[in-house]
């Protein structure tokens, strides 16, 4: 199981104090929002954080 709280904190620390943005709506995702967030890591090692409600906006199908 992935610990999303640690993933968001690691992203915050490695990106000079910037929280990740939702790929669907563009809202910043903080550590307190992790219960409503999905995490995706692509083949090219891109990390994406997406609100569960925004998944249908990102993938249309």
Cα–Cα distance measured from residue 4 to residue 7, given in angstroms and rounded to the nearest whole number: 5
Torsion sign over Cα 49, 52, 54, 59? positive
**Whole-number pLDDT of residue 61:** 60
**Tokens read off for 21:** 């943005």
In the chain (61 residues long), the average pLDDT of successive 10-residue segments reads 90 94 93 91 92 84 60
Domain ranges within the chain, ordered by starting residue: 4-58
**Whole-number pLDDT of residue 2:** 82
Q: Which long-range contacts (CB under 8 A, 24 or more apart) does 6-12 make?
A: 7/39, 7/47, 7/49, 8/34, 8/37, 8/49, 11/47, 11/49
**Whole-number pLDDT of residue 17:** 93
Torsion sign over Cα 19, 55, 5, 29? positive
């Amino acid at each position: 199981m992935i610990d999303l709280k640690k993933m968001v904190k690691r992203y915050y620390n490695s990106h000079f104090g910037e929280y990740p943005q939702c790929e669907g709506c563009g809202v910043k995702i903080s550590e307190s929002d992790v219960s409503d967030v999905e995490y995706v890591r692509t083949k090219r090692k891109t990390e994406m954080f997406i609100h569960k409600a925004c998944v249908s906006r990102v993938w249309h199908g």
